């Protein structure tokens, strides 16, 4: 698996430091509120778990799954809801926990869907922001790292369901895509 990584973009130590920092900011911003962390499966689950452990106020956690990639490295542009939330979010403060924001199309779809459910507030916390590829503007209240236009894996991010368990964010070698004919 490591032989498929071209470079480590963000180390495990850097991720831990940033997640701790984000947890402090979130705890301060939402003190005294009913905060629900909504993680986008599957990649966001890694970030959510570490982030929740660094938030010092009570939180609820729920999961939603959407897809626009399939097994490709590029978004298809077609978003489909695969798994919906278990609980109502009406009148609750919602913080969507996202591993990476790329074009913004998938997240825009999800935010419109969630806003229609009348939350008290709806904001985004993203570990990675690949703004160079942004097609639609997405307001990010809490952001971890800006990254260049490279395909990254690790810390929940995958390529063809692999590499999620790497403890760092790494750039995948181009020849990995060529083996699959992309």
Catalytic residue among 84, 93, 99, 102: 102
90 burial (CB, 10 Å; 0-12 / 13-18 / 19+) is exposed
d(CA 104, CA 33): 27
Query: Alpha-carbon distance 55 to 158, whole Å?
Result: 26
Whether 93 is catalytic is no
d(CA 5, CA 169): 10
Burial label for 113, CB within 10 Å (0-12, 13-18, 19+), is: middle
* Rounded Cα–Cα distance for residues 164 and 49 (Å): 14
d(CA 4, CA 172): 6
DSSP 41: E
Catalytic residues, by residue number, are 102
């Amino acid at each position: 698996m490591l032989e498929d990584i071209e470079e480590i973009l963000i180390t495990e130590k850097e991720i831990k430091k940033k997640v701790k920092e984000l947890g402090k900011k979130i705890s301060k911003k939402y003190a005294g509120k009913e905060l629900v962390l909504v993680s986008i499966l599957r990649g966001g689950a890694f970030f959510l778990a570490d982030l929740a452990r660094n938030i010092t106020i009570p939180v609820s956690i729920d999961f939603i799954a959407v897809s626009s990639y399939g097994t490709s490295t590029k978004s298809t542009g077609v978003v489909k809801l695969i798994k919906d939330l278990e609980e109502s979010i009406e009148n609750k403060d919602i913080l969507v926990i996202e591993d990476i924001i790329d074009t913004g199309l998938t997240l825009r779809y999800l935010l419109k869907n969630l806003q229609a459910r009348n939350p008290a507030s709806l904001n985004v916390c993203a570990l990675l922001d690949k703004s160079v590829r942004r097609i639609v503007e997405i307001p990010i209240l809490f952001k971890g790292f800006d990254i260049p236009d490279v395909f990254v894996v690790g810390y929940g991010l995958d390529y063809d369901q692999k590499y999620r368990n790497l403890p760092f964010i790494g750039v995948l070698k181009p020849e990995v895509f060529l083996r699959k004919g992309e």
